[in-house]
Structure 1
Amino acid sequence: MNSAAGRAPTSADVARLARVSRSTVSLVVNDVPTARIPEATRERVLAAVRELGYAPDVSARRLRAGSSRLVLMPLPRIPLNPAIDTMIEHLSEKLRESGLTLLVHGDRTATGTAAARTWAELRPAAVLVTADRCTKSSVALLRRAGTEVLMISERPVPWADALVFDQERVGAEAAAHLLAVGHRHLAAIVPSGPLQSMGRDRAEGLRNAVHAAGARSEEIIMEATHDSAAAAAAAVRRPGGPTAVFTYNDEYGALLHRALDDLGAVMPDDVALVGADNLPIATFLRPALSSLALNPLEIADHVCTAIRSMLERSAHTEPVVAGVLATPLLIRRETS
């Protein structure tokens, strides 16, 4: 049995096919734990759901219940990598256990009130978004629409709930390792483009740790291209250049690794490298790249807890600021 052409199946269609009431369909589809539905009836309803391809109208459910169970996550401007993918997948699972559904929104460009209007049309209970996509007025717009906002930020935001990633700590941990193995002149790669802000924070963490130890540091701006990596490698290998480099992450580390190899540099004897994120590419290189590992599962757990707490509070209070970046764990390999 098919619904009318061009029309999405409704709960009424499911009820007719399963020979039950619409309320029974609702109880089965929503898996209401207190409902006393005979197993045969439940199976009949689920079979009708599968046959018709029925999916509940989430926005309509929100209008009836007063709130949705959607958590909207607009994709960040920065490129995704396996660590971020793992975090998103685990976050989706943890939210599902709490009766929430994570919906990833593919528009990476919209910002401010224009973005907020688009997100509000989907009627989410909450939006999880990077700070560069939001303004004070856009957060206010979403709250007026009944949507809470949790921002992922590099520093506290006075007008919104925020999860703060302490990026300086990543650079400081890289510096601690390189200083411990004897290096006194360190460099930090700072990516150009959308990653630059985060890169500068990581470089700041390295610089502070290096200067506290009475050593030297510098920054090298690098694009994610072979030509830019070649220029960065030449800067590293200049007379009196740094003997160790924190490469921002493993992808930039791989580019610099190749460029240094092209110059005949021996790692770690001539120059030591440490990346971050512990991506698979780090182990593919020869010599293998040392890397700082961030636990994406632990980060997802922190994010889920913050979202639940935000949605469960009775009224909006002072903005919540929570640090979610666990201590980076150094995975020491052959380049350091």
Structure 2
Amino acid sequence: MNSAAGRAPTSADVARLARVSRSTVSLVVNDVPTARIPEATRERVLAAVRELGYAPDVSARRLRAGTSRLVLMPLPQIPLNPSIDTVIEHLSEKLRQSGLTLLVHGDRTTTGTSAARAWAELRPAAVLVPADRCTKSSVALLRRAGIEVLMISERPVPWTDALVFDQGRVGAEAAEHLLDVGHRHIAAIVPSGPLQGLGRDRAEGLRDTVHAAGARSEEIPMDATHDSAAAAAAAVRRPGGPTAVFTYNDEYGALLHRALDDMGAAMPDDVALVGADNLPIATFLRPALSSIALNPVEIADRMGAAISSLLERAGHTEPIEAGVLAPPVLMRRETS
């Protein structure tokens, strides 16, 4: 039995095929724990659901209940990598266990109130907003629509709840290791473009740690191109240049690694390198690149806990400021 051509099957179609009432279909599909549905009836309803390809109308259910179980996460403007993919995958599972659904919104470019209006149309319970996508007025717009907001930021935000990723800890961890093995002049690569803010936060963490030890630091700008990596390598290898470099992440580290190798520099004897994010590419290089690992599974767990606290909170009386960056861990390999 098929529903009428050109329209999606409804609960009424399922009820007719399974020879039950629509209320019984609703109890089975929503897996209501207090419902006393005979197992044979339940199996008949589920068979009809499978045969018709029925999917509940989530938006209609949400309007009836007066609430939503969606958590919307607009994609950040920075490129995704395997660590971010792992965070998204595990956060989705963590929220699913709490009866929530993570919805990743693919528009990377819209910002401010235009973005907030687009997100509000989807009627989520909460939005995880990258700091570069949202403003104070757009947060107010979402809250007027009854939508909770968690800002994803490198530092606390005084006017909204925040998931704080203290990226300075990543640079500080790299600096501590390089100081421990004897380096007194350490550079930090700062990428250009959308990654610049994140790169500067990591570089500042390195700078503060290096200066506290009475050593010297500097920043070297670099694009994600071979020509820019060659220029950065030349800056590193100049007379009196740094003896160690924190490369912002492993991808930039791989580019700089190649450029230094082309110049005949030996690692770590001539210059030591430490990347970050512990991406697979770090282990493919020869010599293998040391890296700062961030534990994306723990990050996802902390994000999930903060979201649950936000949705369980009564009103806006207790602001949430959750530090979600797991303690960085050095993965020491051959370049340091």
User: Normalising to structure 2: TM-score of the pair?
Assistant: 0.98
* C-alpha contact (below 8 Å) 1:185/1:217 kept by paired residues: yes
- What is the identity, as a one-letter code, of the residue corresponding to 2:194? P
> What is the aligned partner in structure 1 of residue 123 from structure 2?
123
- How far residue 203 of structure 1 moved from its aligned partner, in angstroms, is 0.4
Shift of 1:319: 2.4
Contact 1:158 1:319 in 2 (8 A): no
Residue in structure 1 matched with residue 162 of structure 2 by the alignment: 162
Please state how far the C-alpha of 1:266 moved relative to its aligned partner.
0.5
SS at match of 1:86: helix
Q: Which residue of 1 aligns with 2:148?
A: 148
Per the alignment, residue 37 of structure 2 pairs with 37
1:210 is paired with a residue whose SS is helix
Question: Does the residue aligned with 1:127 lie in a helix, a strand or coil?
Answer: strand
What is the aligned partner in structure 2 of residue 328 from structure 1? Answer: 328
- Look up the match of 2:246: 246
Aligned residues: 336
Tell me which amino acid in the other structure corresponds to 2:233: A
Shift of 1:21: 1.1
Name the residue aligned to 1:232. Answer: 232
The amino acid of 2:326's aligned partner reads A
1:57 corresponds to which residue? Answer: 57
**Distance apart, 1:318 and its partner CA:** 3.9
Contact 1:126 1:147 in 2 (8 A): yes
1:280-314 Cα offsets, whole Å, 9 max, x none, are 00000000000000010100011000111110112
Over residues 213-259 of structure 1, what are the superposed CA-to-partner deviations in whole Å (9 max), with x where a residue is unaligned?
11111001111111111111111111111110000010110111111
**1:94 corresponds to which residue?**
94
% identical equivalent positions: 89
The alignment's TM-score, normalised by the length of structure 1, stands at: 0.98
Alpha-carbon displacement from aligned partner over 1:56-110 (angstroms, at most 9, x marks no partner): 1111111000111001111111111111101110000010000000111100011
Deviation (angstroms), 1:17: 1.2
Is the 1:73–1:128 contact (alpha carbons within 8 Å) kept by the matching residues of 2?
yes
> Could you tell me which amino acid in structure 1 is paired with residue 72 of structure 2?
L
Q: 1:98-117 counterparts in 2 under 5 A?
A: 98-117=98-117
> Counterpart of 2:204?
204
Structure 2: which 5+ runs fail to align? none
Q: CA RMSD in A?
A: 0.8
Between stretches 170-179 and 1-10, larger displacement belongs to 1-10
SS in 1 for 2:330: strand
Are 1:70 and 1:100, in contact at CA under 8 Å, matched by a contact in 2? yes
Superposition deviation, residue 178 in structure 1: 0.2
Q: Contact conserved, 1:15 with 1:25, CA < 8 A, in 2?
A: yes
> Which residue in the other structure is 1:48 paired with?
48
1:193 Cα shift? Answer: 0.5
In structure 2, C-alpha distance between the alignment counterparts of 1:251 and 1:7, rounded to whole Å: 48
Structure 1 moving runs of 4+ over 2 Å: none
Query: Per-residue deviation at 1:168?
Result: 0.8
In structure 2, distance between residues paired with 1:278 and 1:106: 25
CA distance in 2, matches of 1:159, 1:56: 37
